Chain A
Amino acid sequence: MMPQESFNVMSGFYALFYKEVKRFWRVSFQTVAAPVLTALLYLMIFGHVLEDHVKVYDTISYTAFLIPGLVMMSILQNSFANTSSSLIQSKVTGNLIFVLLAPLSHIEFFSAYVLAAIVRGAVVGSGVFLATCWFAKMNFAAPLWIIIFGLMSAAVLSALGLIAGIISEKYDQLAAFQNFFIMPATMLSGVFYSIHTLPSVWQKVSHFNPFFYMIDGFRYGFFGASDISPWLSLGVVSGFFVVVAAIAMRMLSIGYKLRY
């Protein structure tokens, strides 16, 4: 449970971070429980239908392969949702003014929103894993990679959510960003399949999807096997984070669509 009583703050950054965490936790049935249930349904349906038809990395069952993919998909979607929905709600209702009036730098603003979204991604991802890990025997071949890819991928999607929230002025603009970019990129990144099962042309196309590297590197942490080297995946994910973080911070520093 989150503490209900008053708290001492260390800085504007901490207050904003704490507020953002408390915001999603207050509606945790919607922000945590619902995505866990969704992932569980995916596992039950796809796992049941494809278990005997698809084999990946020879020794790994399809259900075991699917679980890290669903965990990562939940991390990605919820990290994105936290920053983007918080920002668009604050913009539409007008209460973003309270943050804009405060002596917060763009770095504090960015860090607080992104870290809170990483927390949500981690909470939902952990929830999905705990709910699904009973359906297959799971390994932890390289746990550090699991943590690194989980956190880095959440950070990338949090920053992307911040960009989407800043750019969008209406809910439907944000929904378009989510439905036509985030959702396809996530679904086509290898959540439900190994790219080695695809025709060669689609394998090549998949390499242009940065989300593929997040899921592939994350899976390496579980199975010690992946479609490509985890170091290459880490490089791509880190590079992608640097780019989206730089764009988000630039937008915040010039007050793009926030300060007129």
Chain B
Amino acid sequence: MSAIEFKNLRKEYGTLTALDGINLQIEQGEFFGLLGPNGAGKTTLISILAGLCRPTSGSAEVMGYDVQKEFRIARRLLGIVPQELVFDPFFTVRETLTFQSGYFGVKNNDAWIDEILFNLGLSDKANENMRSLSGGMKRRVLVAQALVHRPPVIVLDEPTAGVDVELRQSLWKFIGRLNQEGHTIVLTTHYLEEAQALCNRIAILKKGHVVALDTTANLLERVKTPNAADGDLEDVFMQIMNEEKAS
């Protein structure tokens, strides 16, 4: 059983086709990168997975459960870190995480909440109101909210956009640990060096199509030449984009 599976997934907004028949399987335990330029369809794909958006046709599954028909189970198995820096200004960090646990029906979650807070460097902010946190700290709380119900599949939609080096390092250390413990991680990012360093396998989207899908090592092979220094994922990305432009 795959952690995530998209079958012939299409999403149209009026005349705009955001996703054009996506077929993609992400296996359990993978650290998977979902890359692409702005408007490629990455966030739409994640929104469908999260149930925030309904597909025009096709289906999406989390651990074998359809995100529309079996949404209760599918959502329990999924943790999403949204791209936008959103928060509820009425509550403290701990209250935010306790309510989020409650929405997922998780009782007596204080020990796990404390562990998440510690690992994300938020322990001393636990009783502070969300409004008083810096942007980076709010981003950490978003990550914490996605993890609060211990989902086996975690999707991070540009989690390090606009955050400092310290957070990036502590975040990747923690997410790496979760991946080693068996959690499936899906990452979208514009920082291609992060994707190169972290992801085992990568899909590149463009205009609602998957234009490349391979292991990170195989993708890097594409730009390796005997007489030149090894290329990086940015070179691969640009090469694929240019090939697509030419075709």
Given A6-B94, A6-B98: A102 in contact with B52 (beta carbons within 8 A): no
From B105-113, B158-166, B178-186, B205-213, give the one contacting chain A.
Answer: B105-113
CB within 8 Å of B: which A64-119 residues = 90, 93-95, 97-105
For chain B, the count of residues having a C-beta within 8 Å of the partner chain is 37
Distance from A103 Cβ to chain B, minimum over Cβ atoms (Å)? 4
Distance from B87 Cβ to chain A, minimum over Cβ atoms (Å)? 6
From A17-25, A40-48, A200-208, give the one contacting chain B.
Answer: A17-25
Report the nearest B residue to A100, measured CB to CB: B52
Interface string of A1-35 (1 = CB under 8 A from B): 00000111111101110110011001100000000
A180 within 8 A of B: no
Other-chain residue from B51, B99, B100 in contact with A100 (beta carbon distance below 8 A): B51
Most chain A CB within a 10 A radius of its CB, from B72, B91, B99, B106: B99
B189 within 8 A of A: no
Contact B51 A94 (CB under 8 A): no
Distance from B11 Cβ to chain A, minimum over Cβ atoms (Å)? 9
Distance from B54 Cβ to chain A, minimum over Cβ atoms (Å)? 6
A181 within 8 A of B: no
Contact B90 A103 (CB under 8 A): no
In this complex, the interface size class of chain A, counting residues with CB under 8 Å from chain B, is: 20 to 34
Contact A103 B52 (CB under 8 A): no
Residues of A within 8 A of B72 (CB): 103, 105
Contact A94 B80 (CB under 8 A): no
User: When chains A and B are docked, how far (Å) is the Cα of A93 from the Cα of B85?
Assistant: 9
Report the nearest A residue to B92, measured CB to CB: A4
Interchain pairs with CB closer than 8 A, number? 94
Contact B53 A259 (CB under 8 A): yes
A260 within 8 A of B: yes
Distance from A11 Cβ to chain B, minimum over Cβ atoms (Å)? 6
Report the nearest B residue to A10, measured CB to CB: B107
Contact B104 A94 (CB under 8 A): no
Report the nearest A residue to B78, measured CB to CB: A101
Interface string of B64-96 (1 = CB under 8 A from A): 000000011101101010101011111100110
User: When chains A and B are docked, how far (Å) is the Cα of A11 from the Cα of B89?
Assistant: 23
Contact B86 A93 (CB under 8 A): yes
Interface string of A173-196 (1 = CB under 8 A from B): 000000000000000000000000
A143 within 8 A of B: no
Contact B54 A14 (CB under 8 A): no
A239 within 8 A of B: no
Residues of A within 8 A of B88 (CB): 90, 93, 95, 98
Distance from B78 Cβ to chain A, minimum over Cβ atoms (Å)? 8
A255 within 8 A of B: yes
Residues of B within 8 A of A93 (CB): 86-89
Residues of B within 8 A of A100 (CB): 50-52
B188 within 8 A of A: no
What are 24 sample pairs from A and B whose C-beta atoms fall under 8 A apart? A8-B108, A9-B102, A9-B106, A10-B107, A11-B105, A12-B103, A16-B103, A19-B91, A22-B95, A27-B90, A90-B88, A93-B89, A94-B84, A95-B86, A95-B87, A100-B52, A101-B52, A101-B80, A103-B103, A103-B104, A105-B72, A259-B52, A259-B54, A260-B47
Q: Which 9 A-B pairs have the closest CB atoms?
A: A15-B102, A102-B103, A9-B102, A94-B86, A103-B75, A103-B72, A95-B88, A12-B103, A19-B99
